[in-house]
Structures are given as structure tokens and as C-alpha cells.
Amino acid sequence: MWAPTILVALVLALMSPLCRTYLSRKKKSASQFCFLGDDEIEIEEEDILQNKGLAKDFAETVLASEAHAGLVFGIDGPWGTGKTSFINLAERHWKAVGDSVIVFRFEPLRYAAEPDLSERFLRDLTATIQRQVYAPEFRPAASRYSRMVKGISLFGFRLSIEPLSETIDELLEDVDSVLKSIRKRIIVVIDDLDRLDAKMVNNVLFAIRRTFKLSQATYILCYDTENLVTGKDDGNNAREFLEKFIMVKLSLFVDSSTLQNFLLKNWKNNNHPFPAIPSETMLKLESVLTTLAEILKADEATHYLPLIGDIRKLKRFVNAALMMQIEKTDFAKTDFNRLDLVNLMLLHLNYPGLFRRIYAGETEGRKGVFSAKRSVDQGNVKFSNDEGFEKVVSENNDSTSEFLLRQLFDVKVLGVETVDLENEALLSSRACFNGKQYRNLEKYLKLIVRFVTPEPQETFKRTNMLSIG
């Protein structure tokens, strides 16, 4: 009976880790907070920017174009317009045509610290070809190049031999002849080019140019021209050089109507693009998301686009709302003006230094330069801005932050220079009023920073509803 006993003991010993893992997963509680990631999309069902049609046309154009040395496509668009996702959708079409196309995606940002990007580029390129193609005649050329870049060992000492440009050109010609013989075409994608400094960009472009001898290769560069040239001394030269390098250019745009549809309708579907957030939580955020949609539809939308003009920025805003636990705030029972709340949240996210200045001057019972000043003129109550407010606005060199400040606190823009004191609905809601009686701005700031919601009995709206009832 010893044999069965030992066998059972061994089985139990082997199964115990699996059982513990299963039980730990079963007991794992659901996460209290779910936030949105910034992962690029992989399938067409996740395409909320409606780029799948354009991606298909682009993929077909690349395939239909003749592969010849130096053919470079450019995909130009600001950060957040979905350049990587666009390439993912196009790659699905390239792979659907069969095994005649090899897609090689090179991310230079990963190798920014390496001294020779040309060597890294060629090494990864040959490795990709070897993984996807069985071609015995390709191995001698690849092995020869590998030995050159790695060096040789002699009497225990490693000698590093830098490959000569002529020898690399010969190797590229060998690789190109092999690709021709097996009828394979390479699509080389260079992403995140605009995240590199000027020197690194030049190194990447130089590395690509060295491989132009591959007549079976087509190149696609993803970048934002304005980000590449802004703040650089030789910005104009960089722009001209880039435009000479790119042979065919496609620009990506995000329509505000697409963002509006997402905020108003798309996320309500069962397969909405925010699957990490429960639907009931998103429903509770509906009032704030609706306000964002109304902003994108208004005449002032162009002023807001730098802050909420793409999906990445919208995700960041939703994450901030979740962090503030906005879904626990019942706006029907509070005096918060949703537009003022959105504007303050945008200041908090994008201009933290300015927001801290507002917080320091307008909380703990203080009344700073951002609060409207009350005065009496011939028996009429009027409101005006503090001289310090105009100084803050004039010192600000950013037009978007200046716009937000005026939308929040400028009494002329808000049209509240003269307010009937009996209009408590207005006096108790707008953020510009932060005096002794109405501490509106402080309540907004406490909600954003401390997640503090006013008690219902302290709000004018709730008190008014009870009196009517």
C-alpha cells in the first residue's frame, strides 16, 4: 500500500499551489476605483474616432504603391489623435493579404541611449525578417552582419569591429536580392518620432536613409510636425528637411462632432470604449459629460480644444472626475454650476500652478483677487473684478488659461456686473462669488481637492425645493 500512498501525496503536493492560486483569485475583491488607460486600439470595434475606413484606404494605397528605394509615407497628427491605433488598424489589412508582406515596427524611443541607431535598426530589421520568413539563403548574410556588429573573440579578448558603410551597403544588397527572390515586401513603421530631441530625430532619419537600398521596403513615419519644430532653434530647417524626406503625407484630425457623439451616446452602449468603468458609474457622470459635449458644440469650442480636443485628454478628464468621486455628487441637490466646475477642473489638470494660487487665496474664509468685489452705487449693488485679477491675467502668457480665467471670474464676460440680490439661484452658484455670505468658489475648490460635497440642507437649491414642497 506504500505506492498508492506516495502517489497520492505527490499529487496533493503538486496540486496545492494551483488550489491556492484559484482560491486567492476567487477571494479577490473587486477594485473600488477603475480608471482609464491609454492603450492603443487593436480591433475595429474599438475605433471611436471612426478611422477604420481611412485606415483601410491607407493600407490599400501602401500595398498598391510600387515598392522602390526611398518611398516614405508620413502620418502627421498631434498627440492623442490615434496615430498608433491608426497603424494598428492598417496592419490588420496588411496581414490579411497573406504572408507576402512583412511589417517591421521600430520604436526609436526605446533605444534613445544607444550610440548607433543604424546598427540597432538593421539588427532588429534582420531579426524580424528571420522570424517571419524561412529563407535558407538569407541566413549567411544575416549571420555575417551579426558577426560584424558583435565583434570577434581572440585569445580570450573580444575585439569590436565597427562595420564599414560599404560593407553594410553590400549586406543590404544581399538582403534585398533575397527578398526579391522569395517575393517578400517589407513595411517599416517608425512611431513616436516626435518624442525625440532634434539630434535623435536626425539619427533616426539617417539610419533609415542608409537602408534605402532595400527596394522591397516601404517606410511609414508617425510624427507631429509642430511638436518636432516647436521650441527648437533650427525649427524651420527641421520642417523643410522633414518635408523633403516624406514623399507621401497623410494628416489625421479629430472632429469635435465625433467627441460629442462619444460623450452623449457611444459610451452608453454595452460595448462602450470604457469597459473598465461600470456602466452605472458612467451614468452618474452623465451630467458632467453632457456639459463637456455642450462645450464642444458651442462657439467657444476652439478655445477648449487644446484641453479636451482628443480622446486621450477626455480620458484624463474622466479619470480626474472619478478621482474626485463626482459620481457621488447629486447635482440636483447642490448649487454647483456645471460649467464653472468643468472650467475649474480643466485649470486643475492643465495649469496646476495657477490653480494652487487660486486655492491659496480663496479658501479658509479668505477672499482673494479672483472673487468679485461688491459695491453700492446710488443704491444699486454692482460687482467688479479686483485690480489684482487683471494683473494675473496680463501676466499669463497662455491664451487658453486666460480664456478659462475670464470664463470663471470676469464679471463682464459672465454678465453679472449687476445682480438682483434676491436672485439667490445665481449668487449661490457661480464660482466668482466668494464673499462672506456666498462661499461658492471655496466649495468648488474643496470638492476638487478634498472631495467635499456640501450638505444638502446648506444649499439654496435643496432648501428652495423643500420650501416649495
Measured between alpha carbons, how far is 160 from 152 in angstroms, rounded to an integer? 7
Q: Of 2.40.70.10, 3.30.40.10, 3.40.190.10, 3.40.50.300, which CATH number belongs to 50-251?
A: 3.40.50.300
d(CA 427, CA 383): 11
Is the pLDDT reported for residue 381 higher than 80? yes
Domain boundaries, the chain: 50-251, 256-468
Count CA atoms within 13 Å of residue 430 on its CB side.
23
The predicted-structure confidence for 181-239, as pLDDT tens digits, reads as follows 878 888 999 988 878 777 777 778 877 887 787 888 899 999 888 887 765 555 566 67
383: β partners = 374
| CA terminus-to-terminus distance, the chain | 83
Residues 389-417, mean pLDDT to the nearest whole number: 93
Task: Give, in degrees to the nearest 5, the angle at Cα 100 between 214 and 61.
Answer: 75
Q: Provide the pLDDT confidence category of residue 68 given band limits of 50, 70 and 90.
A: low
CA-to-CA distance for 55 and 88, rounded, in angstroms?
9
Please give the pLDDT value at position 349.
95
Average pLDDT value for the chain: 80
Of 289, 304, 335, 329, nearest in space to 431 by CA: 335
Return left, alpha or beta for 70; rule: phi > 0 is left, psi -120 to 50 is alpha, else beta.
left
Q: Which amino acid is at 343?
A: N
The per-residue pLDDT for range 395-408, each reduced to its tens digit, is 888 999 999 999 99
How much helix, strand and coil, in percent to the nearest 5, is found in the chain? 60, 10, 30
- Residue 206 has a pLDDT of 79
Q: Which amino acid is residue 162, in one-letter code?
A: E
- The answer, yes or no, to whether residue 32 has pLDDT greater than 60, is no
pTM: 0.78
User: CA separation (Å) from 206 to 201, 213, 245?
Assistant: 9, 13, 10
Contact yes or no for 380/434 (Cβ under 8 A): no
